[in-house]
Amino acid sequence: MTATRQEMACQICLAPLNTLGSPPTYVHPIQLTTDGHEPVPVPVSQLDTVHRTCDFCGDPFPTWTLLGGDVAAIAIGTTGGLVQNFGHAWAACATCQTYIDDGRNDKVIDRAAQTLGLGNHPEARERIQQLHLAFLNTRVPGRTLITTTAWPATAITARELPKVRDRLARFYRGSDHLPLALADTDARQQIAAGLDRSRLFWIDSDFTDLAEYAAQKLPDVTISRDLMPSTDGLLVWSRPVTRRQITAASWTTTSDGWHLVNYRTIGGGLDGRPLQRLREHVGWLAPMSAVQVHEQHLLPGDHSAAALLATWLLVAQQAAEVTTAEIDRVLRRSYARTNRPAPEVRVVRIRASRGSTSPSTRSAPGDPERSQTSRFWVSGHWRNQPYGPGRALRRPVYINPFLRGPDDVPIKLSTTVRMLGSRKPKPETS
């Protein structure tokens, strides 16, 4: 793994690949147990998720890439070798990073020894220490956030969204690096400024289901300003969506188009100081992929921004009922102190059909009845419809996206429909 050669991972198992010889052949790491498939190398930059582990301790949720001395292939341990061919870029988990920052390398060695099943064996610990120090003693200042780690999802509530946004903007303005598309300082500053101006949207769970379902069938979409519910925005779905497992997306208007960024939540499963530090230094969201798009840019339906586009379109076509979430007083006061207008979070729900009430407003989350009653039926498909001056423009409109009645009344169906969720579609009734 070097900065000059593009890092590769296996498209099948998403493990980073090691290289052998020259010209290089790509091999799975030796400690990796696979089903025997041949590695299919693709550049890491093309993957949203890479199954990397912490190079210090083996933790499956590495957070930072550190640069240091080039530590050549060394293999130790018998219970699943931890170490090989690290090169000069090492992945560190949040816990190891916290110990390294605090000068507690002994704690990092404890973690590695535990992973390797070496216990307190003094000689083994010394070997690990030598290895770590060979890297750390030549470490270059700075670190890069690893954005491809598949963290367990963290729920973000509507009320938390202003804080989540502010922390993200601060991270963009900070000195920790980001890979690839977001390595550019100008883009980071633009996105940070855009986040400050952003309208905040929190998508409730039913609307998230609808948006995800609709995103899977999205046709090509021509980008234009009037698709967007605001000039700049940050939108959070109530759970990760699509196979990319995106939790949030932002759009930022620039002089010649927009930055669109997808995010995943980070830090799930951490606690104590490593979690505190991560929240303080990064926040809740890590950018997964970023693109620049321009007015009248045609984006294919399977574009990385499909979930965002589908959600915009559904909001634009009045499938949404948008209300404002209450923001707690402490947060409002802290905004007032810095002369910022009180933050507003728009909660997006499915617009209730005739005579019914949105179940989200009637039953509490976690209510066991909820999963039975709040399902909606979907038979939707996208159709390009003319709009705008002279009806010369076309945009996809989702047709007949859902039918819904009051929670306690069975839904009568007059068309073939498909239900989201685990239950099988019911036969037609009239």
CB of 61 to Zn ion, least distance (A): 9
CB of 32 to Zn ion, least distance (A): 8
Residues 6+ apart with CB under 8 A from 321: 348, 349, 350, 351, 352, 358
108 closest CA partner among 84, 89, 81, 132: 132
Say whether residue 54 binds Zn ion (CB under 5 A).
yes
CB of 8 to Zn ion, least distance (A): 11
What is the DSSP annotation of 375-393?
--EE--EEEEEEESGGG-E
Which of 52-60, 130-138, 258-266, 402-410 is the region at the interface with Zn ion (rule: CB under 5 A)? 52-60
Q: x/- binding map, residues 96-115, to Zn ion, per CB under 5 A? A: x-------------------
Which of 33-41, 191-199, 231-239, 270-278 is the region at the interface with Zn ion (rule: CB under 5 A)? 33-41
Say whether residue 55 binds Zn ion (CB under 5 A).
no
Question: Please, are residues 57 and 67 in contact by the beta-carbon 8 Å criterion?
Answer: no
Q: In the structure encoding, which two tokens stand for residue 47, read together? A: 């993957």
CB of 10 to Zn ion, least distance (A): 3
- Name which position in 1, 8, 9, 10 contacts Zn ion (CB under 5 A): 10
Say whether residue 27 binds Zn ion (CB under 5 A).
no
Strand segments (E) across 204-329: 221-222, 233-241, 246-254, 257-265, 285-293, 298-299, 320-325
Say whether residue 56 binds Zn ion (CB under 5 A).
yes
Which of 57-65, 190-198, 253-261, 333-341 is the region at the interface with Zn ion (rule: CB under 5 A)? 57-65
Say whether residue 158 binds Zn ion (CB under 5 A).
no
Output 15 or 413, the one with its CB closest to Zn ion.
15
What's the rounded Cα separation, in Å, for the pair 92 and 54? 5
- Name which position in 47, 67, 93, 313 contacts Zn ion (CB under 5 A): 93
Say whether residue 133 binds Zn ion (CB under 5 A).
no
Long-range Cβ pairs for the range 379-387 (8 Å, 24+): 379/403, 379/415, 379/416, 379/417, 379/418, 380/213, 380/214, 380/217, 381/217, 382/214, 382/217, 382/218, 382/219, 384/219
Residues forming contacts to Zn ion in the complex (CB under 5 A) are 10, 12-13, 39, 54, 56-57, 59, 93, 96
